[in-house]
């Protein structure tokens, strides 16, 4: 087991910069999610760490040892592929045994290790089956057992749950997390599913166009996004744009929005504020209980009822603000109704305008 350090890693394919000066420290024993849209470079980064491809420049270290020129078969990593990549010509047990047997381990050792790995993924009785006789979730578990049975230094997962249906995916998330805790292996997990990244990982790295946008624990990125992209890609966010006053922004119509978190900016620059839909309170009264709260008026253009909560789309000065309200049985607002939106400055994040935003 070992941590992984990636420093100033760059990789281009022709004119396309797949990775552009990426540095991340993956702590020993941590569960790390690399999150980003397709083409963001997250899979390229994983393949660099695995050793399928070598960087143009930069450094990769596993357990303190530089490996950027070491081929994959010598890196002692475990990898789970999106399509599982089980060998169709072998039984489940032989698939799991593969890594130990190419290493030349004794037959008895292999048999007991394989059984232990299959028990760990709760497939102890299916060793004799062929991969095509298994369900998607079972294949996933076999792929995981095969990857960890060799006791790799780091476990790499390339969108491993992408091919599973929703219910099974949630089961596997819990299962994967349990196994990872049990063996304590450093795990790097590539996904484009923000919910998966939030629920499973200790830390998240958000990538975009080959660059690391933001990196940190899920709560930190969710509560204090540093860019509009991070705010909108991880979770839902309302973005209000204007000129900064230093501690907030002034909208085009002169309304001041106070921010309790985020960047410190020189007054006058272009900036935006992000606020999560579930942090906004919606009501019809104009009286205010909290004089410091941010306040906007608008009109409900649409309401989507989703059982335990409702989403309101509130139009205001040409912008639509999304508000999510828990179904407490009290609030009942109709489309077309004029409303007042309130939220605290602490729930507002000030973000510097960046050139890469649309």
Partner 1 sequence: MAGQVVTGSRSGLRSALPLLLPAYLWLTVAIFLPLSAMVFFSFMTELPLSGRAWSFTLDNYATFFSQGLYWTLLLASLRLGLEVTLWCVVIGYPAAYVLAKVFRGRSREAIFLLVILPFWSNGLVRIFSWAMVLREGGILDTALNAVLPFKINIDLMYSYPAVIIGLVHSYVPYMVLTCYLTLQAIDDSLIEAGRSLGASRLQMLKRVIIPLSMPGLVAGAALIFVPVVGSFMEPRILGGRTGTFYGTVIEDQFVAVFNWPLGAALSFILLAVVLVILALASPVLKRVA
Residues of this chain that bind partner 1 (CB under 8 A): 50, 52, 71-74, 76-79, 81-83, 85-89, 98-99, 102-103, 146-147, 150
Rounded to an integer, what distance in angstroms lies between the CA atom of residue 164 and that of residue 135? Answer: 10
Residue among 326, 327, 272, 319 at smallest CA distance from 298? 319
Q: Which is nearer to partner 1, 72 or 324 (CB)?
A: 72
Q: How far is the CB of 288 from partner 1 (least distance, A)?
A: 59
Q: How far is the CB of 249 from partner 1 (least distance, A)?
A: 48
Q: Which is nearer to partner 1, 98 or 312 (CB)?
A: 98
Paired tokens of 25: 């420290």
- Write the CA distances from 122 to 10, 94, 147, 170, 177, integer angstroms: 40, 17, 15, 16, 14
Q: Which is nearer to partner 1, 76 or 203 (CB)?
A: 76
Chain-centroid distance of CA 283 in Å reads 33
Rg (C-alpha) for the chain, rounded Å, is 24
Q: Compute the C-alpha angle 15/233/340, nearest 5°.
A: 140
Q: Which is nearer to partner 1, 104 or 254 (CB)?
A: 104
DSSP state of 74: G
Q: How many CB atoms are closer than 10 A to CB 193?
A: 16
Paired tokens of 221: 């990125």
Q: How far is the CB of 350 from partner 1 (least distance, A)?
A: 44
Q: How far is the CB of 284 from partner 1 (least distance, A)?
A: 56
Q: Which is nearer to partner 1, 21 or 53 (CB)?
A: 53
DSSP state of 267: T
Q: How far is the CB of 128 from partner 1 (least distance, A)?
A: 17
Q: Which is nearer to partner 1, 159 or 196 (CB)?
A: 159
Q: How far is the CB of 53 from partner 1 (least distance, A)?
A: 11
């Amino acid at each position: 087991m070992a941590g992984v350090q990636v420093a100033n890693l760059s990789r281009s394919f022709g004119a396309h910069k797949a990775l552009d000066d990426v540095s991340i420290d993956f702590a020993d024993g941590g569960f790390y999610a690399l999150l980003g849209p397709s083409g963001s470079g997250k899979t390229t980064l994983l393949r660099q760490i695995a050793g399928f491809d070598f960087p143009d420049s930069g450094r990769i270290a596993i357990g303190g040892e530089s490996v950027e020129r070491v081929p994959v078969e010598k890196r002692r990593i475990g990898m789970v592929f999106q399509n599982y990549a089980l060998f169709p010509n072998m039984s489940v047990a032989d698939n799991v045994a593969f890594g130990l047997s190419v290493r030349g381990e004794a037959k008895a050792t292999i048999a007991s290790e394989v059984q232990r790995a299959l028990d760990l993924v709760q497939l102890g009785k299916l060793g004799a089956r062929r991969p095509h006789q298994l369900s998607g979730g079972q294949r996933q578990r076999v792929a995981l057992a095969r990857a960890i049975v060799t006791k790799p230094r780091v476990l790499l997962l390339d969108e491993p749950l992408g091919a599973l249906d929703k219910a099974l995916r949630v089961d596997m998330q819990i299962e994967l997390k349990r196994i990872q805790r049990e063996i304590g292996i450093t795990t790097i997990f590539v996904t484009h599913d923000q919910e998966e990244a939030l629920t499973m990982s200790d830390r998240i790295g958000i990538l975009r166009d080959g660059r690391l946008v933001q990196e940190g624990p899920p709560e930190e990125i969710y509560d204090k996004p540093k860019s509009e992209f991070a705010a909108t890609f991880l979770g839902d966010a309302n973005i209000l744009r204007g000129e900064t006053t230093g501690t907030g922004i002034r909208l085009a119509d002169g309304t001041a929005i106070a921010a309790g978190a985020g960047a410190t900016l020189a007054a006058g620059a272009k900036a935006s504020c992000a606020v999560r839909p579930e942090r906004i309170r919606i009501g019809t009264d104009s009286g205010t209980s909290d004089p410091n709260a941010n306040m906007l008026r608008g009109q409900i253009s649409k309401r989507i009822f989703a059982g335990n909560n409702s989403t309101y789309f509130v139009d205001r000065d040409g912008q639509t603000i999304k508000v999510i309200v828990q179904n407490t049985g009290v609030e009942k607002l109709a489309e077309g109704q004029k409303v007042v939106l309130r939220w605290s400055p602490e729930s507002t994040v000030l973000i510097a305008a960046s050139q890469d935003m649309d």
